[in-house]
Chain A
Amino acid sequence: MRCSGRFAAACLRRSGWVAYAAALWLGGCYPINPALSRYDPHAGYRYENLSARDSDNTFVALSLSGGGTRAAAFAYGVLEELRATDIGGGRSMLDEADVISSVSGGSFAAAYYGLFGPKTFFTEFPDAVLYRRIERDLVLRVLAPWNWPRLLSPFFGRGDLADEYYGNHIFKSRTFAHLPRKRPYIMLNATDISRGAQFSFTQEHFDRICSDLGPLAISRGVVASSAFPIGFTPITFKNHGKETCGYEAPEWVGNSEQDLDVNPQLYDLAKTWRSYESAQHRPYIHLSDGGLADNIGLRAIETGIGSTGSLGLYEKVNFREVERIAFIIVDAKPESEPAADRSARPPGIVTVLNAAATTPLENYSSDTIERIRLWFDEWDRAAQDFDVRRAGCDRLAAKICGSSGSASACATERRGQCYEEAHASEMFRPPHPKLYPIHVRFEAIPDAAAKESLKGIGTRLQLPRREVNDLIFWARRLLRESQPYRDLVAGLRQASQDRMTGHRAP
């Protein structure tokens, strides 16, 4: 699927006959993402179409950060620990994962796990990715003279070369249609570089450009998600135009366009959503590393819950179907000693460019984590406030009605009045699942030397075997020793035991 008819026309307009003929002859065009014949908001790879692997009253979302092989190994360690954690009834914590959202290096692990399942993932992923010298292999391909004509084509870049390599050697030419129709929902996230907005490899996002995600190679999603600028060229997608499949933006988009002052973040998201509608203005979408929009992959989950509603969590919470919500943030953020600060000379251009490219991302990532923490706090506080209001009414009724006892008609009446006035009746009881924010990060490593060592591992696509093994070891240990994780596991084990004994919590 190279240089389709309409794409060929674009080639012609841009480069003229000679360049086009040369590019076509040499295969120097990237694959065109397939068109969607008819828009169906309930079809394709989306969360609502996946069956739950296990208990549906626990929502577990994992976000896998960027950071090359460092991030992939750290993610692998966490997934391995989840698999090793027994929660009773012959199930592991990994069975509870509902969503895995990833960017950049984390996307190798997310895609491989989603595609091949736990058995293959835990036996093959280390050799297929973690110990593989991907960087060397890619450099060799760039240096190979037979690839130069293609790389000189304006329609084929280093990102496309990496896509070929990942597709042939890691992802076995599988497509998104090969992803199983069961959870976890895999969200590989890239960045639309023109808008600076997250672009996920889900049908919901591909609907916007009337493109069918199913036949697209998984490797295309991984390479877009991890196409770090300069190292890789952006990955280009054709916007087929909303009229070609009859796409209609969801209702929240139109409503949110009125909310500039009320919810500016959602307003911006709605504007971005609309920007894809005109294939005349944006006939092509260029995607780059997902880390440019969010380097921990958490925003896609937050957006799917609180903005677009595509993960349907609020609905399940409102129907009181969710008892536990866990966010496992796998954060392979490095932090090397600032060598520039040891010199009186101002930092060089490379150091400054690197800081300009990465520092805002890290701040943005911290901001996302903080937003989740505040969200959880607000939820807990709402439930506590309700209990306080109710207890205040109970005390007041007892005081007014004196020794006649709490069950007396007086107390019942007074309490009821107070509940109404204080908004403490059952109608106002907020849904309150137990919340588990689990942040797996190098900073929590208790061993100072190990911490410094891991924080100093660079963002590469190949690492020494020892560093990969250290990353896996510490990821497992950090997760295992995380208090919120231990609480979650204890809660699930208790629930499993209760199920077996027929006991039901009040």
Chain B
Amino acid sequence: MIRFVIRRVLLALPTLLAMLTVVFLLARVVPGDPAQVVLGDQATPEALAALRDRLGLDRPLSAQYIDFLGGVLQGDFGTSLTTGRSVVTEVAAVLPYTIDLTLSALFVGVLFGMPLGILAAVRRNAWPDYATRVLSLVGLSFPAFVSGILMLLAFAIQLQWFPVIGAAALDDPAGRIHALVLPALNLGLIMTAYVTRVTRSSMLGVLNADFMRTARAKGVSRRALVWRHALPNALIPVVTVVGLYLGTLIGNSVLTEIVFSRPGLGKLILNAISMRDYTLLQGIMVIFAACVIVANTLTDLVYGLIDPRVKY
């Protein structure tokens, strides 16, 4: 087990390195001189030179690359060009909001999506199946900001059940949860659609398997058939999709945060873009992509927990 974990983590390292390289290169192909971009047209040549020196822009690309990697290894993701604070500080300040949102959306998705998927599979080609299939396809078609705006219009502006601003101070648990309901449902809606579809198709595959026929033949009750025999076998693709979908969830959380005026990584990214703060953008991308790689690795590890056939 331990050896498998170590091997799996080592396998993630090349991906991580390649990802860092892509982000580094992307941040370097910015047209024009970043120093000029930051300081504007009126900047004096001295100020430009000083900033270039501070950012290390006058050094060869390879040296900058090694500096960048060395910094990342030490947990130093650079300094924001606009605020002067370290990227880690900036991210840590808003990360709890994004984690709240993403995890609760994940929870919403599994809570609603799995039962719906099971129902659709068990009642295949009857109305519950058609209804969930159409609804989940509609759910998948919603861009996160479109569903967010519709929810905002209905529940925050018309009915006024929830605040228009989807966040509260971190030390106010009740307010924090109240403000989280709409954003979490919004993000969870798309997640629900995904989980429903995968659970349905995975369950359908298992329900037709030979061992299910055997179980039916020896008189296992319908309830036990679905919950004890089919579901555990159908879980693996579901876990895969939940894991893979984390990346999309993070992307959609950016849009959700904007619609509900929540602080979070999404807001931070937008500020970084509008202020042309490339070091901040680079740092956030590294942290985001690292999260995705960690999530993928964890997904692989979870297989072993739910599938006894996976040997370490």
Report whether chain A binds chain B.
Answer: no
Which B residues form the contact surface with A (CB < 8 A)?
A: none
